[in-house]
Amino acid sequence: MKRACGILMPVASLPGNYGIGCFSAQATAFIDSLKKAGQSYWQILPLGPTGFGDSPYQSFSSFAGNPYFVDLDELAAEGLIRKEELDKVDWGSDRRYVDYGKVWESREKILREAYGEFLKKEDCEEAVEKDSGDTEKMPVRMNRAQYEKAVADLNPETREYCLYMAVKARENGRPWTEWEDGIRLRKPEALSRAREELAEDIAFYEWVQVYFSRQWKRIRAYAKEAGIGIIGDMPIYVAPDSADAWAHPELFRFDADAKPVCVAGCPPDYFSPDGQFWGNPVYDWEVHKKTGYAWWISRMEYAFSIYDYVRVDHFRGFDEYYAIPAGAENAKNGKWEKGPGMELFHCLEEHFRGRFRTLPIIAEDLGLMTESVMKLVAESGFPAMKVLEFAYDSDSSNPYLPHNYIRNCVAYTGTHDNEPLKAWLNGLNDSVRLHVIRYQGSEHTPGNDLFWDCIRTVLSSIADTAIIPMGDYLGVGEEGRINMPSSSGNNWKWRMKEGEFGENLIWHCNMLADMYGRSRT
């Protein structure tokens, strides 16, 4: 990666009309603002379909897209749904936060109506007329042959997800572990019967994925033309209730009845006396090794088809992972076991040889760093992460203090899991706050503007890449937090309002990027 900077902003946090950010005109407007602000990267969270809890890190599939992100205005422009019907829907009254309950109630219903209209329409290839009178190349309604080719071109794992979702709908949303044995254990006759009986539902979910892919490709191409690289995110684990786990039980540490023997988590520490019980299925790395890591190659192929760079979450799990007995009440009795190490990445490097000089991966190496984890990160050559909010709780040897950075890293003020910068500063005790002020030379900075000095500290560091969360540039408080780890019910909701990334903030971002040699212009 070059010396540059970017902004972390979830797609769901974009402004817009229908309850949640999506692949709308607001997405391209955000890219325009990034370009004007001298930025080179847009970092987002995983794009997969979210399940219970609405977490993008607990997706129904590693190979599918979130239906919430399909742009409904485009469907209206194609004549698949009436704009006045969209305006009648109660998407929630507060545009600052996503109301997932209302989005869940309305989104699939609207998409099913649009799909019904799609099936009724005659083949049509002419461009859609815009209000300006100009004829755009996009969006263009696909004719039947184009659509059938788009379905055939879906990743096989994406199509497996569509079958999974159709069965899940028939089962009233129950997790696959509670389905009847025939379909749960993927008996051939049960799968054949499901594909036949649920053909209409499967086709609907395929249509959604075609539109998701089509719209995202357009957004990504728009970003590329603007000189903006997309940094995506890949959770190391799959969700327990996912098409990944259901379709490939042999890849996980399941027993003969497709039930987990152990699950993922973290051991007890100062902050979590009982440890963290994540519940994700853990990989059977010996099976992956025997296949030449074929599933991981496929997963990375999909990731690189939708992102320019991939931040791999919980990178240390490739060195060692914490396995907890599946029936345990907490994480106290788990144990560390060896992961695949560099062998996996050597296989990936070999597969992608000729396509990339180096794999465009960012290693999320936060948390407990053992000697073997640090060795794996160093040997991989992937840029690691440095987070300023972790820098001031010890002495000058703290690896997150900017004077300890190396060029090959990605520096952040905070991530989606951290408090917004301004809220973090307000919560510091006097001694840590004094440490921040002295380190940054902020003795004459008004307290309310101290967050700007933190941003400047990261941008001025030696790190090749600096990423600042959008909320930090906006100076939001605790109300703007994206996620509180180990909590549920109030996460992934914050949204930027229209106009907040305006000319004044764009000027400040561009000025800082230029000042510290990170501007793309």
Looking from the CA of 180 toward its CB, the CA atoms found within 13 Å total: 7
Alpha-carbon distance of 269 to 343, in angstroms, equals: 30
289: tokens are 């090794």
In three-state secondary structure terms, 5 is: strand
Whether the CB-CB separation of 470 and 451 falls below 8 Å is answered with no
Torsions phi, psi for 356 (to 5 deg) = -125, 140
Whether the CB-CB separation of 501 and 470 falls below 8 Å is answered with yes
Catalytic residue among 32, 105, 171, 417: 417
In three-state secondary structure terms, 34 is: helix
User: Hunting for tokens 């987070």 — which residue is that?
Assistant: 387
User: Hunting for tokens 């004719």 — which residue is that?
Assistant: 143
Which residues are within 8 A (CB) of 513 and not within 5 positions of it... i.e. 6 or more apart? 5, 37, 38, 39, 459, 519, 520
Catalytic residue among 313, 319, 365, 464: 313
Alpha-carbon distance of 6 to 26, in angstroms, equals: 18
Compute the CA torsion angle 461, 467, 473, 478 (nearest 10 deg). Answer: -110
- Distances in Å between the Cα of 69 and the Cα atoms of 118, 209, 486, 496 are 18, 11, 25, 16
Concerning whether 320 is annotated as a catalytic residue, the answer is no
Radius of gyration from C-alpha coordinates of the chain: 23
Looking from the CA of 34 toward its CB, the CA atoms found within 13 Å total: 30
Nearest Cα neighbor of 60 from 143, 165, 133 is 165
Whether the CB-CB separation of 26 and 16 falls below 8 Å is answered with yes
| Secondary element (H or E) of residue 165 | helix 156-170
Concerning whether 449 is annotated as a catalytic residue, the answer is no
Alpha-carbon distance of 277 to 331, in angstroms, equals: 5
Concerning whether 313 is annotated as a catalytic residue, the answer is yes
Residue type, 264: A
In three-state secondary structure terms, 271 is: coil
Nearest Cα neighbor of 168 from 54, 53, 60, 240 is 60
β-sheet bridge partners, residue 42: 7, 230
434: tokens are 């004094």
Alpha-carbon distance of 266 to 488, in angstroms, equals: 18
Nearest Cα neighbor of 284 from 246, 240, 323 is 323
Q: Which residues are catalytic?
A: 313, 364, 417
